[in-house]
Every structure is written in structure tokens, then in C-alpha cells.
Amino acid sequence: MILSAGVRLRSSFLLTKSLRSSRSIPCLSQSSALRLFHRPACLRQSTSPELPAFLQTYKKAVEFPPATHDFESFLSQAEPNTQVVLHGYLGQRADLSKKLSFVRLSDPTMKHSLQVVAFAKNDAFEQLKGLNTHIPVAVRGIAQRKKQKASDTTEQAPEDMWEIALEEIHPLNDFPKELIMTPDTVFAPEQRYLQLRSDAALREALAFRAEARNICKKELDEGSDRFVEIETPVLFKSTPEGAREFLVPTRRPGLAYALPQSPQQYKQILMASGIPRYYQFARCFRDEDLRADRQPEFTQLDMEMSFATGQDVMRTIEGVIRRLWSTLMKDPAPEGPFKKVSYQEVMAKYGSDKPDTRYGMEIMRIDHLLPVDLVDKISDLTEPIVEAFKLEANDNDPQDTHKFISQFLESPAGAPFNSNSDGAPGVFVYNGRQPLCGLQPFGFEAAEQVEEVLDPDHGDLIILQARPRAPFSGGSTPIGDLRRAMHAYAVSTGFKPAPTGFDFMWVVDFPLFSPSSDTEPGQGGAAGISSTHHPFTAPKSAADVDMLLIDPTQAVADHYDLVVNGVELGGGSRRIHDAAVQEFILRDILKMPVERLADFSHLLDALRAGCPPHAGLALGFDRLVAVMLGKESVRDVIAFPKTGKGGDDAMVKAPSPITEQALETYHLRLRE
């Protein structure tokens, strides 16, 4: 007896102490706890504790009736006068009288809704009046056909044919009365969960994304070339591939992981490991500023093939795209191989390495046609290259064209082009009612030649832009940026119709190396050049291998970008599979420091172990889904995107300050 009592007393003490120490949830008072646990055993077994209100409410919600149907099966199989249980969200209630109320019940997907009718004769009638809208509920009731007026002969949707006569309603949670949630409500990033719940298009985009992912998997799993899905580590090491990395400190002093910019090195090592064809939906991380098409963490469909060329990879990806488009899209993808256009050609014709070719506005070089005095007015550069394009006015009056270009160049989208250090754009409106059709500054001969090159119509806009006489580098030229911005403004203001359809192309023959940029980390070498894409890209031909010794900047890469409608969906290349060549490029061409070269020892060792030739590609999956749905930003196809220039997650308030304890644990010290 003494031992038993001692055990009971100690248990009472521990439970009371636990309740007293809790600070995160409402708790019983110490005296209540003592009264509860010091009652005689017979009373403890027969008497339920006096629960606070929030626990009483939760207790009722723990056990709720299972659904007999989902909404779709109910609407297709419903029979009158049968009892059903449905789960969903409560809509706005309408009280028709003191004895009759109606309320809409949305299903868990919020794609379907049904009318629930409540009568005063039922206890649930009064309970319903005390419930807030938008709460999750379980409803039990009798299925019945809604009465249709004899004069109404229109065909009814299934949702309008049935209703539920309420018998029981089980509220499963509450919803704040002060929150207003409608389909048009725009919530701050801090309340992303409410935006998802109120925005049907956003939820549909996520469902579409999941379906697109499954189709990609099916094509790679079951296609003519069977791929193996393999996950590669997310905790990697810091290696200079071309973008800034996120570091993950460890408890070992001075050591850190890096989150992968891509699975590039792991997948190449898989090729040396006897895996012929690999893919995965990889999470990738790059410490870059946000843009409409860029997030610091993103998903890419990553793949690699051994004993393969770039042609093999392009053919495989074209199969994935065709399957996606034929299954999910109204517009079919091209039947034959996608067209291939060189980097030099797209930069010359469109001023971009990812051009939207649907709306024309091709760029022409015309400096050889222009009088010297006109060139001097356009730019202060010595012997500049002068290029031009026309924006068709679609039969607009020249006055409308003048108004459009003035508004554009004064807008936030166009004003920066006036500050181009190489010279502001030259603007001319082609007007058949003026001398030389408005091209007087060109002179008679040059005006005639420009007309022959650009073939303008009455009201068309002609734009000239100068640039230094230098080879193309980077992703765009000033006139290419101007072309894109001007067309976007023309569409947004109604001056031009929006282009339609999908124009796929492969952009090929990029330079293997490009001048280093102060804004990009590159590979950290001292050569003044960086790999245009990453340092594992192979030269395209035997002649380009020779160029590695003669002039590396003239070597062409066996790289290919998949572009559609001005968006780079992905890029890939044939890789360097020979360790000696890879080491030569890292050490002798890029001039990496010895300590950075050692960061790639794992890859070089794998290449030495009989690695076969291989090639691969990564598709930006977020961008792909955004393009398919016609979304301007990848944020519209991601459940919880980062926002703001710094890539913050405002909902969970990340990144968060590092605590002193964490600094100590990971041997870190903050610098001023």
C-alpha cells in the first residue's frame, strides 16, 4: 500500500510539474490538476475531466463520420432519399425564413459545390446558424432532387439537380470572422495558404504541374530509351561552376556543405558508374537575385545519357515535349525535329540568345548604308555597328505611331534605353505623305536602300541603335533588349495583338568561353574568360579542339538551349569525358588556382576510370509549366515561392536570424 501510494504521488507530481512548465498551450491551473489527480481511484475512472472549451471543441472534431462519397461520385451515382455523408467547406448561409436556411458546401478540391438545405425541425438548423463561413465540416443528410420549375426547360448541371437535406453537421475547425476571402481577394505573401485556398487558378496550376511531371516520367520510364530515375545528394561541396552557392555549415569547425547548383557532377559520375541513362526531378539552389523566371531554389528535369551525342539528347527531349503537348495542350508541338539556329544568327537577327520569333521585328545591320553624319548623330562611338528593326503599325495612322513611341520612351519600360551610353535609339515613323516618307535624315540614296531592306508600310516604326564593333557576347544586345521591351509594351497597350502559338527552336553553336563578368562569379580563374555555360562542356568539333591551343575564345561549344517564345526552357551539352582534357581546361585555359582545381578531384578520378562519352540536359521545370499555362512568372506555378529581391519566404519568415547558440554550435562568428 505504501509503495502504491508513493507511485501515485510521484506520478501526480510529475504530471503537475509538466502542466505547470508548459507555456505554449492553455493549461489547467495547478489546483485543478491536483484535484484531478488526487481523487480516489474509483472517481477517476468514472468521472471525465472538466476540459477547457478549446479541448472540448477539438474533442468533437477528432471523431467525425467518414465520407460515403466524394462529390464527383455522388453527382454521378446519387439516388433520392438516401443518406450520405460529405466532407467540405461551408459557404455563405442564406436564411429564407425562421424555419428554412440554405448554404453551399464546397468539396475538398473546391471544384464542386452542392446546396444544403436546413429545416428548423432539425437540431442542426440552429447549429448551422452559429458557424462561420469557410470552415471545414462533415455533413450528414438525405439526398434529394431539387425542384425545377415546369417552365424551365434548360439542361441543368449535376450540381444544380441535387441538394442535401441537413440532418447533422460536424464543424472540424473554425475560421476567423474578420478575414474576408473571395475569389478576387489578393493576400500578402505572409498568407500564401489563403491565396492558394481562394485562388482556383493557382490550385489548378499546381494540379497541372503534377500532371505534367507524371507525363515526363512516363515518357522517360516507358519510351524507346528507358531511363532510370536516381536521386543524387542535396548536401554537396562548394565547386566553382558559375553561380553563387548556398553554404550549409556543419558542427565540424571550418567545414561546410554546399547546396547543389545542379546535379551536374553527380550525373557525370553516374555515367562513369555504368548507368546508361539517368534522370530525376532535381531540386537546385543558386544564390541569385529574383526575377519573374528565377527563384533561388527551383526544380529541373535533369537527364544524362552515356555513349550519346547532343543529337540523341535533343531527340529525347523533343519526345518529352511532344508527349506533354499532345496530352495537355491544344496547340501541338512541331512534328519534325525542332529547328536549329546558331548563337551568332539569333544574336544578329533578334539580339537575344532566347528570342521570341513569333512577332518578326528582325534586326538588320545597316551601318554600311547610312551617311556618316547620320551615324554621328546616333552615336559618339568610333565606327559603330548600327542595326535597325521595324515595328509594324497594323494600318495605324502615323500620328498613333508617334504617340505610341513617345509614351514608350517615357515609360518605366522604355526610359532606360534613352540613357544607353552607346547612343539613344534613332526613331523614325514611315509616313507616305511626307518627303522621303519621313526618312529625310537618311538622304535620298540611303532612304531608298533602307526601304529595300526593311520594306516598311505607312505608319510603321523604324528603330536604329548603335553598338561597339565587337563580337557578340552574353545573352543579348541593347537593340535586342529594346526590341523585346517595345513589343511587350505594344501588346500591353493594345498597339499590337499578342502573339499566339509555340515556336520551339534549339539555339546551338555557342562560344565555349566568354569574357568574364564582374557581376557573375564564373569559375574563379585568372584567365579573364569563363566557360559560357559550365566548365564541363565539350568542344563541338575536332577543329574546336585545335582552337583550345590556338585561341580558346574562338572555340565553339557542343551546347544546345531549348527556347520557346522568348523563354529558355533548358540547356545541355556533350560533356568532356576525358580527365586530361578536363584538367587542361580547368588549369591551363581557365587558370583556376591549384586549391580550386583540387575541388574537382572526385570528378577527374571518375573520368579516368573509363568514363564513356556522354551528353545531357536540364529542363527548368518551373519555367516549362509557366510557359504551358501562359504565366508571366514561375511564382504562379509554385506552391510556396520566394518573394522580394532577397528571396525571402515571408510566410515562414525565412531566412531567420542566427541564434548565438547556433553560432557556437557551428563555430561561426558574425562580421560587422
What pLDDT digit, counting tens, does each position of 59-98 carry?
889 999 999 999 999 999 999 999 999 999 999 999 999 9
Q: Which of 483, 498, 513 is the last residue of a domain?
A: 498
196 occurs within a structural domain: no
Q: Which of 472, 498, 524 is the last residue of a domain?
A: 498
300 occurs within a structural domain: no
Instruction: Find the CATH number of the domain harbouring 83.
Output: 2.40.50.140
348 occurs within a structural domain: no
Distance, in Å, from the CA atom of 259 to the CA atom of 533, rounded to the nearest integer, reads 19
451 occurs within a structural domain: yes
Tell me the per-residue pLDDT of 572-627, one tens digit each, with 9 for 90 and over.
999 999 999 999 999 999 999 988 899 999 999 999 999 999 999 999 999 999 99
Contact 129, 90 (CB under 8 A): no
Mean of the pLDDT values across residues 16-23? 39
pLDDT of res. 416: 95
pLDDT of res. 519: 61
User: In which domain, by residue range, is 123 found?
Assistant: 71-148+156-171
Distance, in Å, from the CA atom of 327 to the CA atom of 456, rounded to the nearest integer, reads 41
540 occurs within a structural domain: no
Answer yes or no: pTM beyond 0.85.
Answer: yes
25 occurs within a structural domain: no
214 occurs within a structural domain: no
CB under 8 Å to 518, separation ≥6 — which residues? none
CA-wise closest residue to 512 among 536, 484, 487, 531: 531
> How many distinct structural domains can be found in the chain?
2
* pLDDT surpassing 50 at residue 37: no
Instruction: Find the CATH number of the domain harbouring 458.
Output: 3.30.1360
Q: Which of 171, 202, 237 is the last residue of a domain?
A: 171
Q: Band the pLDDT of 523: cuts 50, 70, 90.
A: low
397 occurs within a structural domain: yes
Q: Quote helix, strand, coil % in the chain, to nearest 5.
A: 35, 20, 40
CA-wise closest residue to 317 among 299, 338, 331, 296: 338
